[in-house]
Amino acid sequence: MFQGRAFLAALLCFSLTFELGESFVPFNVSYDNRALLINGKRRMLISAGIHYPRATPEMWPNLIAKSKEGGADVIQTYVFWNGHEPVRGQYNFEGSYDIVKFVKLVGSSGLYLHLRIGPYICAEWNFGHANELLEMDNLQICYM
């Protein structure tokens, strides 16, 4: 069922690794009983959510900057699968769905990114997009 999505995820990761290779600075993340440790220093991270398809690419730099000014260390976003693959086998990474551009903007601002790859995304997005995924393979879901 998710073979196409696994390919899409691998392609996205490869693209991000390739595109961010020169600007990405690796860091070590671990934890203890009190906090996350980033490069050995305890951190309390503040996250801001930006759903990239719900804004135009021209709005992204300002939204990211305002999040950083407001104290955010992390931008979190879902990967909106139904926007990136509106029809099985046809991929869309342009305009508001240019996730590589969005990720680069977040990285260049000095913030971390929490990428929620799904495929279930919640986000008040047609039952989290689960219906469309299941209907693609003629499966049914039972709501209780």
Give tens-digit pLDDT for 55-98: 999 999 999 999 999 999 999 998 888 788 888 788 999 999 99
Higher pLDDT, 141 or 62: 62
The pLDDT score that the predictor gives to residue 17 is 42
14 pLDDT higher than 50? no
pLDDT of residue 109: 93
pLDDT computed for residue 127 by the predictor: 52
CA distance 80 to 128: 9
The reported pLDDT for the residue numbered 69 is: 97
pTM comes to: 0.71
| Cα dihedral: 139, 129, 100, 30 (round 10) | -90
Confidence of residue 6 (pLDDT cuts 50, 70, 90): low
* Residue 23 burial by Cβ neighbours in a 10 Å radius (0-12, 13-18, 19+): exposed
Q: What are phi and psi for residue 123, nearest 5 degrees?
A: 50, 30
Pairing of strands 74-78, 112-116: parallel
